[in-house]
Structure 1
Amino acid sequence: MITLPGYRIVDTVIEADTWDLYKAFSMQDKAIVCIKKDTKSTNYAQRKAEVLHDFYMAKQLTSNYVLKPLQRKNHGGDIYIVMEPFSGRTLMDWYENSKPTVKDLIAIALRIAHALGTIHQERVIHKSIHPQNILIASQGNGIKITGFYQSTTLSSELPHPNVSPYQIKDHIAYMSPEQTGKMNRSLDYRTDLYALGVVLYEMLTGDLPFQTDHPAEMIHAHLTKLPIDPSSITTKIPVMLSTIIMKLLEKMPETRYQSAFGLKEDLAICLNQTGTIVPFILQQKDKASVYERPSELFGREEASKQLLEGFYRIKEGGTEFLLVPGPSGIGKTVLINELHKPLVKEKGYFISGKFMHLNKEIPYAPIIHAFQILLRQILSEGEASTAKWRSRLIEELDTYTAVIVNFIPEIKWLIGSQAEQSDLPPEGIHNRFRQAIRRFIGVFAKGDHPLVLFLDDLQWADSATLDLIHYLLINPNNQHLLIIGAYRDNEIFVGHPFEAMLERLKQEKVQITKIPIHPLTKKHIKEWGWDKTQ
């Protein structure tokens, strides 16, 4: 039981996986309130940021279906949120202890859909809909939504693709394909509808749609696998209800329900029927609440095919250099992000860095940034995985660990401080550095987890980084490494350092694959226009 000055804690209302809710008496206001305390195991700074975001997002909402925060209190290094009075339990607790009938579940699903619709009306994407954040009131089975720590007020959002599956492993079972960041498309309100589909699937069948404990495998399932139809698991689930849930679980947002209120209307039809639910046409009152921007890549089929072929070649073994030239804004980065889907399946790593026009005086800056991303991904994978990587790095880097520590100080979080090496002449230091980088990459660029290094705006690359890229390509060392470089070919002139490096690589018989990106033709523009009017 917690203690908080100014409040007398009366009872524990809810003990969820990542937060607790207490009933309390406010000494100042002489009133009953609830106090919410976050219990996540994340680091303090992240936990504090999430609690504050949850507080301010929920406080601005006017929906009666949101568990309202009243004020925040700091005590003993923790943040406590004083909430409106509430008596009830989580949806999961209600399900496990009430043994609801199918009709009970439809009624609750209808209320949840309505509650979610009111939140979406205020242009908020919740992004964390799961049974612990849906609350059922003790009296009347009223609905309250909580857990706005990931929510956004944008009508759509582009998730960051460089996020490790382990960084989003909490409640990943309820995450839409687009929210994983691996679909190369933005997410909108419909991500919450997918999550609700997972919740309803679990409530009806007793199991999640996909059964795996590995975060990367779960993401791959969301992206590519179809869940078993609920009505084929048990005949107690009406076919129409099963069809509604499968519609919510469509991979592409445009083929799901387009609004929570449209879902509510179809659930109401199911609820109002007695006995067998007569088949009816779904989505008759389902209207899209957002403008759908094109997510398909038009006119890039051949380029995308070449990109994927390059990845699968290095998956089998080898190091390749793949170049994507084209003018600024033509879609080079969007094309390259298509690699995230197969990478998830193959448990690979995608890291990236971008050269800046004014940062040429900082050698290796984009590569350092890419390696920092890689280390953060590794550190997010849990203690067992981190221990495995720590052992591999120490073993394979051997006497080169101190060199890597000087180059990427963040690696000390993983392997600890290392003893300095004896001094070498300048040429020896340079060679030792390049060998250390090659060994470091070799730890991660394996057949069971290939590595993709994407370097953007190579036309602004510094000479030291170009020299390092050249060294890695002519000394592949049995690695599974794909280096992708995007650059503005209209800014490469005769004698440019990047052009000089390419000439050296050609002379040394290094395979270079170029995938030039050209402006869309009239045919492609017509296809895009036709797609948007359907």
Structure 2
Amino acid sequence: MDNKENVLWDGGERVLWREQSSAAAGHNVLFARLAAEQPMPASLDRLAHELALKDELDSAWAVRPLRLVRENGQVSLAFEDPGGEPLARLLGTPLEIGYFLELAIGIAAALGKLHQRGLVHKDLKPAHILVHCADGQPRLTGFGLASRLPRERQAPEAPETIAGTLAYMAPEQTGRMNRSIDSRSDLYALGVTFYQMLTGVLPFSATDAMEWVHCHIARTPLPPSARVEAVPAVISRIVMKLLAKTAEERYQTAAGVEHDLRRCLADWQRQRHIDDFTLDEHGTPDRLMIPEKLYGREREVETLVSTFTRIVETGVPELVLVSGYSGIGKSSVVNELHKILVPPRGLFASGKFDQYKRDI
């Protein structure tokens, strides 16, 4: 890189930098370059996919891709430059509440615009959010995994191979919740991002991929207000609602999040205090969202779960048969085991998780 290049973020897989133009050359341009000399085909596919979305992305809320650039054996994706810097560069210590609310409102609004276009980001995180842009509005980027499907399933895979960023990944994206990925999966990642903005740390810490999966599907994080006393209780509740394990218990839309944050900011600016109120009263989805909860099969599911837990704890094999007419829902019952297979739920409470990881 020469002295006209300014690295904004090095994420390991790819590097984001701003190439500063001379007065004669015109506007600055952002580039995302794959760091590996011989990148994996999947990494190249993500750049191409992001470029293919350019006509569906609005420069008012997204960093729009322009073209692929191949130079000196390396592949980069060029973007319009709205100015600003990745949110990730601001994190590490708790943000002041008023400042947090101003940033969070803009981020929620941008995410809402993305969802209105029928897109699900699937990799929302601070490194993929530009703040302090020239017009003061945040921009989203990092659309290499974005989906045009309103709902899709993640197949159970080894945690190390799941596409996305595990620290910000919704439980259903791990493939172990028997639940579909939709726009509310992005809201979980938004909750992780807000948690980090408010506290300076992630809601969970883990040492490997499997432990990240365990955290998202089984552990409840300490509320932000319990970590940082200055965080108002209402804002803490907003974040914890975003971090709900099932999508039905989260905010249903980014617009609902934005509305509640704006109410918080109005109270904060007026009285340096936020009055309590009912969350997500204005979060009615703009499309039909059919709940994926399994009803009327609690006894059968509990039999499978208790049997599986007993096998893991005793080491004695057992055979369980699930029978019934075709179409009665046998697969749905069995699929409820996904959320506890890695690692078994029985080990969560017993404190044997670390031993389980060593054994496998």
Superposed pair shares fold, TM > 0.5: yes
1:159 to 148, 154, 158: 154
Is 1:313 aligned to residue 307 of structure 2?
A: no
Secondary structure of the residue that 1:106 maps to in structure 2? helix
Residue 107 (structure 2) aligned to one of 103, 112, 127? 112
For each residue in 1:425-454, what CA deviation from the matched residue of structure 2 results, as whole angstroms up to 9, or x when unmatched?
A: xxxxxxxxxxxxxxxxxxxx99934xxxxx
Whole-angstrom CA distance in 1 between matches of 2:33 and 2:256: 35
Q: Which residue of 295, 300, 305 corresponds with 2:297?
A: 300
Map residues 485-496 of structure 1 onto 2, 5 A cutoff: none
Deviation of 1:347 after TM superposition, in Å, equals: 9.6
Per-residue deviation, 1:198: 0.7
CA contact (8 A) 1:182 1:340 kept: yes
What is the match of residue 185 of structure 1? 179
Largest Rg, 1 or 2: 1
Question: Given the superposition, is the C-alpha separation of residues 127 and 40 from structure 1 closer, same or farther in structure 2, using an over 3 Å criterion?
Answer: farther
Q: 1:24 aligns with which of 8, 16, 19?
A: 19
Equivalent of residue 62 in structure 1, options 55, 58, 62: 58
Corresponding residue for residue 128 of structure 1: 123
- The residue aligned with 2:333 is 335
Contact 2:56 2:117 in 1 (8 A): no
> Which residue in the other structure is 1:39 paired with?
35
Within 2, Cα distance between the matches of 1:34 and 1:165? Answer: 31
Answer yes or no: is the 8 Å Cα contact 1:25–1:31 preserved in 2: no
TM-score (norm. length: structure 1):
0.59
1:305-454 equivalences under 5 Å are 305-315=302-312, 316-346=314-344, 448-449=359-360
1:258–1:286: 8 Å Cα contact kept in structure 2?
yes
The alpha-carbon deviation at position 110 of structure 1 amounts to 0.3
AA aligned to 2:83 is S
1:252-331 paired onto structure 2 within 5 Å = 252-273=246-267, 274=270, 275-315=272-312, 316-331=314-329
Partner of 2:188, secondary structure, is helix
**Which residue in 2 is equivalent to 1:48?**
44
Task: Tell me how far 1:102 sits from its aligned partner.
Answer: 1.2
Task: Tell me if structure 2 keeps the 8 A contact 1:176–1:195.
Answer: yes
Counterpart for residue 512 of structure 1: none
**Is 2:123–2:186's contact at 8 Å kept on the other side of the alignment?**
yes
Q: What secondary structure is seen at the aligned counterpart in 1 of 2:320?
A: strand
Give the aligned residue type for 1:284: E
Seen in structure 2, the aligned counterparts of structure 1 residues 243 and 305 have a Cα distance that, compared at 3 Å, is closer
Please state how far the C-alpha of 1:327 moved relative to its aligned partner. Answer: 4.4
Q: SS of the counterpart of 1:218?
A: helix
Q: SS at the partner of 2:118?
A: coil
Q: Structure 1 CA distance, aligned partners of 2:329 and 2:114?
A: 34
Give deviations 1:232-258, integer Å, cap 9, x for gaps. 222211111111111111112112111
How many residues in Structure 1 have an aligned counterpart in Structure 2?
344
Paired residues of 1:346 and 1:448 also in contact (CA < 8 A): no
SS of the aligned residue for 1:132 comes to helix
CA distance in 1, matches of 2:41, 2:73: 11
Question: Which of 206, 223, 236 is the matching residue for 1:242?
Answer: 236
Compare the two structures and name the one with the higher strand fraction.
1
Residues 247, 255 of structure 1: 8 Å contact kept? yes
Query: 5+ unaligned residues in a row in structure 2: which ranges?
Result: 347-355
Instruction: Give yes or no for the alignment of 1:94 onto 2:90.
Output: yes
Mapped to 2, the partners of 1:15 and 1:121 lie a distance apart of 28
- Once the two structures are superposed, what CA deviation does each residue of 1:372-402 show, in whole Å capped at 9, x if it has no partner? xxxxxxxxxxxxxxxxxxxxxxxxxxxxxxx
Partner SS, residue 126 of structure 2 = coil
- Cα 1:83/1:143, change in 2 over 3 Å: same
1:72 matched to which residue of 2? 68
CA–CA separation in structure 2 for the residues paired with 1:21 and 1:447: 37
Measure the CA separation in 2 of the matches of 1:283 and 1:446.
Answer: 39
Residue 253 of structure 1 aligns with an amino acid whose one-letter code is A
Partner of 1:51, secondary structure, is helix
Letter in 2 for 1:34: L
1:303-334 Cα distance to aligned partner (Å, 9 max, x none): 32332233223312133443334444433332
1:84 to 60, 80, 84: 80
Supply the AA of the counterpart residue of 2:205: Q
Q: How far apart are 1:264 and its partner, in Å?
A: 0.6
Provide the secondary structure at the position in 2 that maps to 1:21. strand
Q: Distance in 2 between matches of 1:239 and 1:294?
A: 29
Aligned AA for 2:84? Answer: G
Cα distance change, pair 338–198 in 1 and its aligned pair in 2 (3 A): same
Identity level (%): 35
Q: Which moved more, 1:123-132 or 1:280-289?
A: 280-289
Residue identity opposite 2:342 in structure 1: V
| 1:347–1:448 Cα contact (<8 Å) kept | no
Distance 1:198 1:120, change over 3 A: same
Instruction: State yes or no: 1:205 paired with 2:116.
Output: no
Q: Is the 8 A contact 2:65 2:77 kept in 1?
A: yes
| Cα deviation, residue 58, structure 1 | 4.1
- Does the 8 Å contact 1:59/1:69 carry over to 2? no
Q: Aligned to 1:283, what secondary structure does the other structure show?
A: coil
1:292 partner SS = coil
Task: State how far apart, in whole Å, the 1-side matches of 2:297 and 2:274 are.
Answer: 45
Structure 1 pair 328–75 and aligned structure 2 pair: CA distance change class (3 A): farther
The one-character-per-residue Cα deviations of 1:202-250 (angstroms, maximum 9, x if unpaired) are 1111111112223222222211221111112222111111111111111
Measure the CA separation in 2 of the matches of 1:302 and 1:16: 49
Q: CA RMSD in A?
A: 2.8
* Equivalent pair of 2:174/2:213 in contact (CA under 8 Å): yes
- Give the partner amino acid of 1:66: A
Give TM-score, length-normalised by structure 2: 0.86
Q: Distance in 1 between matches of 2:43 and 2:358?
A: 36
Query: Partners of 1:303 and 1:206 in 2: how far apart?
Result: 43
Moved more, 39-48 or 225-234: 39-48
* 2:18 counterpart letter in structure 1: K
- Give the match's secondary structure for 1:74: strand
Residue 47 (structure 1) shift: 1.1
Report deviation, 1:59: 4.2
Aligned partner of 1:12 in structure 2 is 6
